[in-house]
Structure 1
């Protein structure tokens, strides 16, 4: 890992400052530093930044909405969290993601070879899915042009998804057709170390996720099934194979923090004091009750035992202070095992549950029950449950958990999504929220209980950030008035 640290320090010095770009892709002009980093350095820095986006603090609100976490009792009330009173000044996913996209776009334009181009295309798809799933319509065909176009038009979410599928197919074709002499990123690839077979499986898993996200659009179903079936033989992420980034995270607060981003978000500083997110958030009783009611040993892995040896939390939006003798649980050793933990991009359990659903819906062939069970087992292993394989088999043998082989298709989908929700707690806050909006499961997550809150339903989307209204007012204005309870992403139920 020490060799990775030297790489990432260089990336932070070069890609983080001299190659810093705004969301339109404009390079920062600085005559005293290089304007363009090498593809290898830019790849390392870009992957690290993606990991920081998806594992950072941008999606904490979804952890509350999905019953994973709550505001710490006794802590100041967060209006944008407990009361759904967020504005265009909150939850800006836009700016860091477009900046990250501009770096991947630079790699594509560098003509560094098939492998580099394919990786950048795959990660471009990953980032654009984050943007569409957050905002619906966003700049795409006219984006990343820098000063050539400072006010890019917005494309529809559905048209972007259509092209993202094509981009993944193109990336798979580049990898398959790359000559033996093609440049391989090697250790500069801090996700798969240049293993292009793994990159193909990751791309194919993303393709499956894009397709299944659109299951509510029945007019697209036939074409999506055909597209997915065409590359099923490429394989997918799954047991023993996940997309995770680690540039050499270490328990150091130097250079703004070198810990894994999720640990920086919810763990502890180098000296052992709680990070801000660790102080502000605690266990949610909905999550605790789900695990306890299903005899699920992950409860004491996802959440920490308090000083009395119990797991205790509060409801989302709750204001009652828990007595000191019953101090609330924070995230536990399965969720934040160490400052050096990998940063999850797409984990094995999610990939396996995607495949289980795809089999059930007829997108791919396979054994839905076996994939469902494997998804649970992978989650148990990821959380460090003792004797994980045996514990998982005991868990999914229960009638309340067992895959409903003879049940209705709706019952099977519900089982898959609910267990995916349980596996995504807490690292997959955005993805859990996406799946909830698509399927409605779990269908018993309570709304905020904060006094005076009268939400008609769960939040359906966030607002475009203030930076867009100040730099591209006409095009963002054309998207109409956005309402956090009624405006929906095109694929939502």
Structure 2
């Protein structure tokens, strides 16, 4: 691992924080020493996380999870079309995430040394967030010795399952540190202010986020039978920890967790996803806008269920969608002649839109699954399930700040009416993928159509004989739709964990697996070059599983 390069990256980030008026301005000077305080670099660290999540993790996972495919406008995309990954494919996920973790490590250490315990706790939470992203794509990674700097530029790799267990320890520590800081009177700890571009210094929200991260972590582990006792114990502790009178009593997140350092339509200051895939600050369309299209499978789900979100997320014509793509097809439609993500819609909200780090819908569906599987007592899995659908509608129908132009269409009542229309639509009354109380559906799995192929002709086709639907399938199915275009990584992780939904794999896949999909990424070339002695060997993107993957 290139620790020297990472140290220089952190140094430039530190200068950035103290020499600029805006959290989005860039003026790097890697020769400046690390003498800044934790509050001075927090905003840039959080913004970097948002950038990496939205334009590194999300695009790779969107292909793997069957959300998007290559259009006919561009050549290339061979790894995405075949899953034949190599050590150069998406290696910025690894390097950029570790760079960001170094930033948080400095914030944590500086915060502890300068009576900034809130900043330190935030950094500890965000280190877990980033480390989990790495483990979920690579498995074993440097962890216990990863942040040694020049003293250890070739750190050993820790086992992924042991790292995951330490995540819970670290999050519990962060919550306890926040609680202790709340009670500290001498000296009074420094408050978190505008530098917190996620929760604006509201530490109760950080406790909720830590609890929701714990739930995400434990749900991943729950698919591994050897961890059943551990997961049950930790789930019980988690539920008890949010009881009144405990440090974690704030509960789970109550809103979408988003990062907004002040995105505006200006060069270098736009929402990174919009800037890369939609338009530059002058309004000129990005060429990458036309490189990918939503898959036919994804479009089919919105059409088959008469789901209003489809018309919010994608552009449409008077007759509906104009066409999608299939992973690996030899003659896909041009990117400017088929259905794309809608401008100022549910995914491309605008240049000033915040970047989601965790959707409330995801958390609610996780709570529904935890209750359904007996990990949580009390409450109602059905209520969580329906609340997750509502939260998803709220996310996709909420415009960016600069595009709140219609008080009626932007109102909660308008969105609530859309949810009711969806849940009560005639085609969904007996559809177990939408109605919690129904155990069958006529919506086909992708693999029912001739070996996992979904064509334009099947957009409205239904099964003659209904098939069974488990409660876990309906939860993950709705969660998949809620993640569309903005949290593809979580959908991809959930597929590998549960096998749902059974979306169509690539036509050109080289995978030997029954589902024809990959299982992970390969370690990047940078690690092969600099840390080969510690690198796990014999890794295959088709047969080497992340520890929580039961397949």
**Matched residue, 1:339:** 351
Q: 2:325 aligns with which of 303, 314, 320?
A: 314
**Matched residue, 2:422:** 395
Partner SS for 1:344: strand
Query: Cα offset for 1:62?
Result: 1.9
Following superposition of structure 1 onto structure 2, how do residues 84-233 of structure 1 map, counting pairs within 5 Å? Answer: 84-92=83-91, 93-110=93-110, 111=112, 112=114, 113-178=116-181, 179=184, 181-218=188-225, 219=227, 220-233=230-243
- Alignment of 1:376 onto 2:389: yes
Distance in 2 of aligned mates of 1:161 and 1:404: 32
Contact preservation (8 Å) 2:208, 2:253: no
Distance in 1 of aligned mates of 2:274 and 2:479: 22
Distance in 2 of aligned mates of 1:37 and 1:469: 33
Contact preservation (8 Å) 1:460, 1:484: yes
Ranges in structure 1 where 5+ consecutive residues have no aligned partner? 19-27
CA-based RMSD: 2.3
Distance in 2 of aligned mates of 1:407 and 1:306: 34
With over 3 angstroms needed to count, the CA separation of the structure-2 counterparts of 1:354 and 1:258, relative to structure 1, is: same
Per-residue CA distance 1:461-480 (angstroms, 9 max, x = gap): 0000000111111000xx12
Query: Cα offset for 1:34?
Result: 3.7
Ranges in structure 2 where 5+ consecutive residues have no aligned partner? 1-19, 244-248, 399-408, 441-467
Distance in 2 of aligned mates of 1:198 and 1:321: 44
Partner SS for 1:54: helix
Q: Decide which moves more: 415-424 or 35-44.
A: 35-44
Q: Decide which moves more: 36-45 or 135-144.
A: 36-45
Contact preservation (8 Å) 2:473, 2:500: yes
Query: Cα offset for 1:354?
Result: 1.3
Aligned length: 464
Contact preservation (8 Å) 1:306, 1:327: no
Distance in 2 of aligned mates of 1:140 and 1:454: 30
Q: 1:272 aligns with which of 280, 283, 288?
A: 283
Following superposition of structure 1 onto structure 2, how do residues 20-39 of structure 1 map, counting pairs within 5 Å? Answer: 30=31, 33-39=32-38
**Matched residue, 1:481:** 538
Contact preservation (8 Å) 2:38, 2:108: no
Partner SS for 2:194: helix
Q: Decide which moves more: 88-97 or 63-72.
A: 63-72
Query: Cα offset for 1:410?
Result: 7.7
- Alignment of 1:297 onto 2:311: no
Partner SS for 1:300: helix
With over 3 angstroms needed to count, the CA separation of the structure-2 counterparts of 1:307 and 1:389, relative to structure 1, is: closer
Per-residue CA distance 1:127-146 (angstroms, 9 max, x = gap): 01001001100011101110
Query: Cα offset for 1:382?
Result: 1.1
Per-residue CA distance 1:382-437 (angstroms, 9 max, x = gap): 11185221211232342313443475998111111110000000111111100000
Contact preservation (8 Å) 1:192, 1:198: yes
After TM superposition, the score normalised by the length of structure 1 is 0.89
With over 3 angstroms needed to count, the CA separation of the structure-2 counterparts of 1:323 and 1:422, relative to structure 1, is: closer
Distance in 1 of aligned mates of 2:23 and 2:139: 33
Contact preservation (8 Å) 2:79, 2:89: yes
Q: Decide which moves more: 331-340 or 67-76.
A: 67-76
Query: Cα offset for 1:308?
Result: 7.6
Contact preservation (8 Å) 1:70, 1:315: yes
Q: 1:404 aligns with which of 436, 441, 444?
A: 436
Distance in 2 of aligned mates of 1:79 and 1:405: 43
**Matched residue, 1:24:** none
Contact preservation (8 Å) 2:73, 2:290: no
Distance in 2 of aligned mates of 1:323 and 1:72: 5
Contact preservation (8 Å) 2:136, 2:493: yes
- Alignment of 1:458 onto 2:472: no
Contact preservation (8 Å) 1:447, 1:455: no
Contact preservation (8 Å) 2:66, 2:505: no
Distance in 1 of aligned mates of 2:438 and 2:292: 40
